[in-house]
Amino acid sequence: MMHTSELQWTAQEQSIAKAAFDRAYQREIQALVQLVRDQAGSIAGTDDVWRLHDFLSARRHELDGKYDERESALLFVFADLLKAGWLSLDDLNGLDALKLSKITALTRLM
């Protein structure tokens, strides 16, 4: 069990974290937008339109849960986003070495 709540975040690190967080969210949303635009062209009937709605409901629920801005959750959120490819380590450049090593360790556990 990692005691992530004991980590201190400097103002600069908070700013880096916020920027990385927002960047990942925007990237993921843009991919979703592209998917919806692609799918919309093939919507033809009742099933298709409700399938699109189900899909958006599930993605929204997932994204609401995943993008947890609490400091105690940030290492896990970043590990998840690195693993999924929405962030690279470059996006986290400027966080202290301990946080970065915890994040990469978490990534390997996922």
Of 8-16, 26-34, 68-76, 82-90, the window that binds a second copy (rule: CB under 8 A) is: 26-34
Give 93's strand partners. 95
Nearest to 72 by CA among 24, 1, 20: 1
Q: Report the C-alpha gap between 40 and 38 in whole angstroms.
A: 6
Does 62 bind a second copy (CB under 8 A)? Our answer is no
Q: Which span (6-14, 23-31, 88-96, 101-109) binds a second copy, by CB under 8 A?
A: 23-31
* Residue 65 in the binding site for a second copy (CB under 8 A): no
Cβ neighbours for 79, distance < 8 A, ≥ 6 positions apart: 103, 104, 106, 107, 109, 110
Footprint on this chain of a second copy (rule: CB under 8 A): 25-26, 29-30, 32-33, 36-37, 39-41, 43-46, 48-50, 52-53, 56-57, 60
